[in-house]
Structure 1
Amino acid sequence: MIEAVKFWNEPNNKSHWDPQIDPEWRIYGQMVKLAAQAVKAENPGILRVLGGISPIDPSFINRMQSYGALDDLNAVAVHGFPLDWNLWSIHEWPNKIAEIEAVTNLPVWATEVGISSFGAEEVQEFGLQRTAELLMGRVPRAHWYSLYDLPQAWEATTRHREAEGSSYYRHFHMGLLREDGTPKLALKHFSDYTPEFGICQWFHFEDHRLDQAIDWLRKLGVKHLRTGLSWADWLRPNADVWFDHVMKKLEEFDLTVTFCFTPESKGIQPHHTSPPQNIEEFADFCVTMMRRYA
């Protein structure tokens, strides 16, 4: 069921990797290199992808190449949200892909692309259609973020939270479905682009939306699904039961699975964005997940 694995999520975004601890991303590069080698040795048929970068930055790819972090990878990935957080036009998507293609021979995947309905659902509706027009056939994989809105009672994975103003609140309006599961305007168009166009949907530990999400993915004709398996969650009580449940439920989809989030007890600092004290332990987690689910 696992088509590809990704090593971390948005490593050049300080909401996901702490640049104060690892300002040159040397630890990250070494960690990816080691984890990619371990996953390749365990199951060479699974595609290995660099954690999707946000912002889209060719210099970061060059840096990873200089560390040898791309040597055992099959693709690199980018994330883009031009109507919400990025300082470029939605129409520039082909140019942003080309910027990365210019510095690597690896295929470029777009594993998180999205438009919020924060200002108006009509904006998201337009954004979905235009994004699909620009990326389908241009990249091997494109995953829309996301199926569901983030519940208001949860926190968005970002460092500065409410201090970001409207940028923070946009995190809660990225879904094709509202928090209560009712459709937005853009939803009626999504099946026009499947199965080529995929979806990225993160499932929190013991997420109550799992079964309903699967029903919607089937209705929409989704084949390619991106989700995550959290290293931090793996250390929770009964984590194996939840992980097994999720992966069994998702076995009908071609999965791109992101391995990320440092357990507090394993980080240089006790935070999920911290580089681990021992990068070998992250590689071990990746291999454990491969043996269990790939």
Structure 2
Amino acid sequence: MVEAVMLWNEPNNLSHWDFKIDPDWKKFAEMAIAAGKAIRSVNPELPIVLGGISPIDPNFIQLMGSHGILNAVDVVAIHGFPLDWNHWNVNEWPAKVDEIRAVTKLPVWISEVGASSFGAEEVQLFGLQRMSELLLGNVERIHWYSLFDLPASWTATTRHKEAEGSAYYRHYYMGLLREDETPKMAAAEFPEGLGICQWFHYEDHRLDSAVEWLHRLKVRYLRTGVSWADSHRENAELWFDRQMKALEPFNTTLTLCFTPEHLGIAPHYTSPPKDPNTFAEFAQWAVSRYAPAPVRTNSAYAMPEEMAAPSVLR
């Protein structure tokens, strides 16, 4: 079940949104607000989450407020990895949450938190235990990143790739499970109430195994995504349908992001789109198909037949 939809991922991170093209984030705001309206037209009750920010920056949330985005969403989200990439101590997590709460009345979710086993599995286990102690009960939704290690043959989504040194290679060790799907030390200590963030690539071979492991770990809350860029692949709709059908048992936050190259101002998945309404159309399609409003007889919220999952994928 899709419990929320998230607009983009890390919009204040150059690896995910090209703010050299959009330095004041006005194009992002236009796109997000248009998508929010499109989603409300399909399912007005579905919570909309602003893409989790990284770094955690209250000034960015205030900027989003000045652009009107906070009026278009129901939740803001943050990401933090103090044992791997952030320049703050793990024990500062509650203070980081409070920094965001100080500038918005919206609920704050943590849509990515994690620790790599790059140096040692014991470090990841410590990170899981300490961050769970600090955050469970303080924040409504927390998604641990991630279930699987990134396969060594795949490319991590970062700006400078291998030039980042060990910071880049940590991306490959964030999972509770190794690439061969054997569990690490932290998997045995995964706490009740903590969610998982797991991205699935197009036709990802790990999908069925992921579902099995999510059940084994007693995970209720999941964050994943469907890629706007991938929606233009051949048979994308079939893959998305299979993915979302497999994930129905979980309360899922569905992230929508990644610009198709031919629709971007620049030919890159981080680029603002030439026309913000193209993302809104994709968001409307995704929600119509995977999170439509419940049909209520004799209700203004009953979905007209003509709104049922139009296909914008090609």
Q: TM-score, normalised by structure 2?
A: 0.92
Corresponding residue of 1:212? 209
Cα displacement string for residues 155-206 of structure 1 (whole angstroms, at most 9, x for unaligned residues):
000010000000000000000000000111111000xx22x21000000000
Q: How far apart in 1 are the matches of 2:47 and 2:90?
A: 28
1:142 aligns with 2:139: no
1:117 Cα offset (Å): 0.3
In the alignment, which of 258, 262, 273 is matched to residue 261 of structure 1? 258
Report matched runs for 1:50-89 at 5 Å: 50-89=50-89
Percent of residue pairs bearing the same amino acid type: 62
* 2:227 counterpart residue number: 230
Three-state SS of the structure 2 residue aligned to 1:237 is: coil
Q: 3-state SS of the aligned residue for 1:64? A: helix
Quick one: distance in 2 between partners of 1:237 and 1:79? 32
Asked if 1:120 corresponds to 2:120, the answer is yes
Partner letter of residue 252 of structure 2?
L
Computing the radius of gyration over CA atoms, which structure comes out larger, 1 or 2?
2
Task: Specify the alignment match of 1:276 in structure 2.
Answer: 273
Aligned pair count reads 291
1:203 maps to which residue? 200
Alpha-carbon distance between aligned partners in 2 of 1:187 and 1:251, rounded to the nearest angstrom: 22
| RMSD over equivalenced CA pairs, Å | 0.6
Q: CA deviation at 1:36?
A: 1.0
Give the TM-score normalised by structure 1. Answer: 0.98
| Offset, 1:72 | 2.2
Q: How does 1:13-162 map to 2 (within 5 A)?
A: 13-162=13-162
Residue 248 of structure 2: aligned partner: 251
Deviation at 1:255, TM superposition (A): 0.5
Mapped pair 1:287 → 2:284: yes
SS at match of 1:70: helix
Secondary structure of the 1:115 match is: coil
CA distance in 2, matches of 1:95, 1:259: 29
Shift, 1:279, TM fit: 0.4
Aligned-residue offset at 1:41: 1.9
In the alignment, is the contact (CA less than 8 A) between 1:18 and 1:275 conserved in 2?
A: yes
Q: Return the alpha-carbon distance in structure 1 between the equivalents of residues 32 and 69 of structure 2.
A: 6
| Alignment-mate amino acid for residue 257 of structure 1 | L
Partner SS for 2:88:
coil
Cα distance in structure 2, aligned partners of 1:293 and 1:31: 21
Contact 1:40 1:72 in 2 (8 A): no
Q: Partner residue of 2:303?
A: none
> CA-to-partner distance for each residue in 1:131-156, whole Å, 9 max, x for gaps?
11111010110000000000000000
1:186 aligns with 2:186: yes
Task: Find the aligned partners of 1:64 and 1:222 in 2 and give their Cα distance.
Answer: 32
Write the letter of the residue equivalent to 1:283.
Answer: A
Cα contact 1:101–1:108 (8 A) shared by 2: yes
Instruction: Write the distance in 2 (CA, Å) between the matches of 1:143 and 1:117.
Output: 17
Offset of 1:19 from its aligned partner?
A: 1.3
Separation of aligned partners in 1, 2:208 and 2:288? 25
